[in-house]
């Protein structure tokens, strides 16, 4: 289970994913931490660990200079190690996205027995786990077919944009050290002085690159399974579940 959460394997030993353990509050919280640490929060946690080691290392130690170099020039050493400001921005975006996801699960399913049957503490822990795992590990603490339709759609959106915070941080923190060592025709660069337009340019590039794979996958499935999609006797085989599974994949 720990390997599933950290390494995004999507495998569990129970047939209902993690629904059986939805009332186990502390395992839900611990597994949620592993999901964040192994995926989108990995750059934040990595820099935090290096910063703590830097603070605890004695001044006369040779490791002190190495850790200081990692903190000052992170992108020279590792692609997913960012400077301080992009790391804080990434952490803020991830916190906001997950907070919104948890809030939607709790509020929209307030009168849904699938969610409301749990006590307050385990319910919040299970919602946090669902917000973390739906975008990272492919596991679930609730039967997603029974939750509020708006929650299903929010999970679909969160799965799709889960990689964008890190992708934008990677692009935005590029420095001259990462540029190609060659002579090529110059491409028009976004205005880095205008932060909003700079980020939006990267978002547009990422969206235009990724959406084609989503559309192609859905198009091929709808052609191959047209008979089942139009069969009224099988309502579970519909367009939205297909979109959900394609985005999840």
Of residues 181, 198, 172, the one with CA closest to residue 87? 172
Contact 23, 129 (CB under 8 A): no
Supply angle C-alpha 191, 196, 198, rounded to 5: 35
State the average pLDDT for the chain. 82
187 lies in some domain:
no
Q: To 10 degrees, the CA torsion angle through 199, 203, 209, 212?
A: -170
Percent of the residues in the chain that have a pLDDT greater than 90, as a whole number: 21
State residue 157's pLDDT score: 85
248 lies in some domain:
no
Q: Where are the alpha helices (DSSP H) in the chain?
A: 2-7, 25-38, 42-56, 62-72, 84-108, 113-116, 120-136, 149-161, 164-172, 195-224, 226-229, 239-248
Instruction: Check whether 80 has a pLDDT greater than 70.
Output: yes
Residue ranges making up the domain that contains 66: 2-8+16-174
192 lies in some domain:
no
Instruction: Check whether 184 has a pLDDT greater than 50.
Output: no
Could you read off the pLDDT of 20-45 as tens digits, one per residue? Answer: 888 889 989 998 898 888 888 889 99
State residue 203's pLDDT score: 65
179 lies in some domain:
no
Which has more pLDDT, 83 or 166? 83
Instruction: Check whether 104 has a pLDDT greater than 50.
Output: yes
Of residues 138, 159, 149, 155, the one with CA closest to residue 109? 149
CA 17 to each of CA 103, 140, 147: distance values in angstroms, whole numbers, following the listed order: 22, 6, 15
214 lies in some domain:
no
Domains identified in the chain, total number: 1
State residue 182's pLDDT score: 46
202 lies in some domain:
no
76 lies in some domain:
yes
Enter the DSSP assignment of 175: -
Instruction: Check whether 230 has a pLDDT greater than 50.
Output: yes
Enter the DSSP assignment of 94: H
- State the Cα–Cα distance between residues 104 and 108, nearest whole angstrom: 6
Q: How confident is the model at residue 207 (pLDDT cuts 50, 70, 90)?
A: low
Instruction: Check whether 199 has a pLDDT greater than 80.
Output: no
Contact 221, 242 (CB under 8 A): yes
State residue 235's pLDDT score: 76
144 lies in some domain:
yes
The encoded tokens of residue 151 equal 């929650």
Q: List Cβ neighbours of 172 (8 Å cut-off, separation of 6 or more).
A: 86, 198, 199, 202
In degrees and rounded to multiples of 5, residue 60 shows phi and psi of -80, -5
100: left (phi > 0), else alpha (psi -120 to 50), else beta? alpha
Angle, helices 149-161/84-108, rounded to nearest 10 degrees: 160
């Amino acid at each position: 289970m720990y390997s599933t959460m950290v390494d995004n394997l999507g495998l569990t030993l129970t047939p209902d994913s993690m629904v059986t353990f939805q009332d186990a509050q502390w395992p839900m919280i611990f597994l949620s931490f592993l999901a964040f640490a192994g995926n989108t929060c990995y750059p934040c946690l990595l820099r935090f660990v290096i910063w703590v080691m830097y603070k605890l290392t004695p001044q006369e130690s040779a490791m002190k200079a190495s850790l200081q170099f990692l903190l000052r020039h992170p992108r020279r050493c590792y692609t997913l190690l960012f400077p301080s400001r992009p790391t804080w921005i990434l952490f803020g975006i991830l916190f906001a996205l997950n907070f919104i996801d948890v809030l939607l699960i709790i509020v929209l399913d307030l009168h849904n027995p699938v969610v409301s049957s749990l006590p307050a503490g385990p319910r919040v822990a299970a919602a946090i786990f669902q917000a973390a795992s739906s975008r990272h590990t492919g596991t679930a603490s609730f039967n997603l077919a029974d939750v509020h339709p708006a929650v299903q759609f929010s999970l679909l959106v969160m799965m799709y944009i889960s990689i964008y915070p890190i992708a934008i941080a990677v692009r935005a923190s590029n420095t001259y050290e990462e540029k190609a060592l060659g002579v090529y025709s110059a491409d028009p660069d976004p205005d880095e002085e205008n932060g909003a337009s700079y980020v939006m340019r990267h978002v547009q590039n990422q969206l235009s690159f990724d959406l084609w794979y989503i559309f192609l996958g859905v198009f091929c499935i709808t052609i191959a399974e047209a008979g089942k999609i139009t069969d009224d006797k099988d309502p579970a085989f519909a367009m939205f579940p297909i979109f959900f599974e394609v985005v999840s994949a």
